[in-house]
Chains A and B, each alone.
Chain A
């Protein structure tokens, strides 16, 4: 009787006995993520479920990530199979208006330059001793695009899924803080005040409808390993632009995106177990991720400066900073910075175009990376 009572009591206090200091630290990290999401408004849709998932997985003896744990089931279903990021892409496609990009196709180039940080960071990660697949996964933080980062990480380095996803979403939320100092530093006073002519060129409905089809077919032929990424975002956009499937478009924009965001967030949080997460490499990954996004901004602005020279001062180099995938946050940062130096300067539309170019660019960069690595026998 006494031993049974002792066992029963032990079961109730077992959690306190088995808690490790790394679990306590990670529960605090989870609370910080909740605070950032709720109080500071940093990507709350992702940081809140990630933070809560992080707290759940660090409570000892609950075995939520063991074979039959509910978090493991969600993780295996959506992350291991790479389905969740792809579902989210359908929603993003349905929510994105590519018209500014179609009106100004040259902004595709800014979207390409805004991805150079990925490959420069990959090289840095290799220099720091990371293996090839880990280096690619760290470099892709520079895509500044959560679903792309999760997709690539689940293919190359699942053990890095937690740190790279949290780094990607945190830095995406910090774009308004990270980009302006680089923009100020790299542009001259003359460049900053450049007024861009607002020559809004209307585009036909046929061109808008054919855009996702052309990008899917050509992008898929060039980089077939990235077709799931290109195909899903363009499918979402095609649903929207066709105008024939309003119910599906609404479902993609709302129900699918909301449910998958919740499940994806909680699954990512579930990878943040103290034993796995609290390593010196995590700090290194956060540092490299920071560098990747800064390098993207630098390359985008430098390309903008090149276009400024080529067009004899018609393009404001500041819009180059919007060539990343953080849509539409980065375009708004460019508009705000531009107006600081010239109140009559409206850079929002060209910056939106560059930002949409950055979205396609980040997916294409990941697609190229996947295809090239397969060609080299890495994948």
Chain B
């Protein structure tokens, strides 16, 4: 059984770090997604039709 401070500090570091790194990775993936599937003007025309 870990003591509460070890638990709290581990949670603080891995929680904040894990959330930040995961969302940083998501943001990189979305940039990538936008590069692979860029917006094309035709989509707008198709949508209007």
Residues in chain A within 8 A of chain B (CB atoms): 101-102, 105-106, 108-109, 111-113, 115-116, 118-120, 122-123, 126-127, 132, 135-136, 201-207, 210-211, 214-215, 218-219, 222-223, 357, 360-361, 364-365, 368-369, 372-373, 376, 378
> Knowing A102-B34, A211-B30 touch, does A108 contact B14 (C-beta < 8 A)?
no
The interface on chain B, measured as residues whose beta carbon lies within 8 A of the other chain's beta carbons, has a size of: 33
Which chain B positions have C-beta within 8 A of A113?
Answer: 20
Q: Which of B2, B16, B22, B23 has the most CB of A within 10 A?
A: B23
Q: Is the CB of A108 within 8 A of B27?
A: yes
Which chain B positions have C-beta within 8 A of A378?
Answer: 7
> Knowing A105-B27, A116-B16 touch, does A205 contact B43 (C-beta < 8 A)?
yes
With CB as the reference atom, state the residue of chain B lying closest to A129. Answer: B4
Q: Is the CB of B4 within 8 A of A360?
A: no
Which chain B positions have C-beta within 8 A of A373?
Answer: 11
A-B contact pairs, 24 of them (CB 8 A): A101-B30, A105-B26, A106-B27, A108-B23, A108-B26, A111-B23, A112-B22, A112-B24, A115-B19, A119-B15, A132-B4, A132-B7, A136-B11, A202-B39, A202-B44, A203-B34, A207-B34, A211-B33, A222-B25, A364-B22, A365-B15, A369-B11, A372-B15, A376-B10
Q: Which of A101, A111, A368 has the most CB of B within 10 A?
A: A368
Which chain A positions have C-beta within 8 A of B11?
Answer: 119, 122-123, 136, 369, 372-373
Q: Is the CB of B16 within 8 A of A119?
A: yes
Residues of A contacting B: mostly = helix
Cα distance A215–B12 in the bound complex, in angstroms: 23
Which chain B positions have C-beta within 8 A of A201?
Answer: 39
> Knowing A105-B27, A108-B26, A126-B5 touch, does A361 contact B19 (C-beta < 8 A)?
yes
Cα distance A203–B35 in the bound complex, in angstroms: 10
Shortest beta-carbon contacts, A-B, top 3: A206-B37, A105-B30, A105-B27
Cα distance A105–B33 in the bound complex, in angstroms: 11
Which chain A positions have C-beta within 8 A of B18?
Answer: 222-223, 368, 372
Cα distance A126–B8 in the bound complex, in angstroms: 7
Smallest CB–CB gap between B31 and chain A, Å?
5
Q: Is the CB of B30 within 8 A of A364?
A: no
Which chain B positions have C-beta within 8 A of A360?
Answer: 23, 26
Which chain B positions have C-beta within 8 A of A214?
Answer: 26, 29-30, 33
B9: interface (CB < 8 Å): yes
Q: Is the CB of B12 within 8 A of A109?
A: no
Cα distance A206–B14 in the bound complex, in angstroms: 33
Which chain A positions have C-beta within 8 A of B33?
Answer: 102, 207, 210-211, 214
Smallest CB–CB gap between A292 and chain B, Å?
13
Smallest CB–CB gap between B21 and chain A, Å?
8
Which chain B positions have C-beta within 8 A of A368?
Answer: 14-15, 18-19, 22
> Knowing A207-B34, A376-B2 touch, does A109 contact B24 (C-beta < 8 A)?
yes
Pick from B12, B25, B29, B39: contact of A203, CB under 8 Å: B39
Cα distance A75–B24 in the bound complex, in angstroms: 37
Q: Is the CB of A357 within 8 A of B14?
A: no
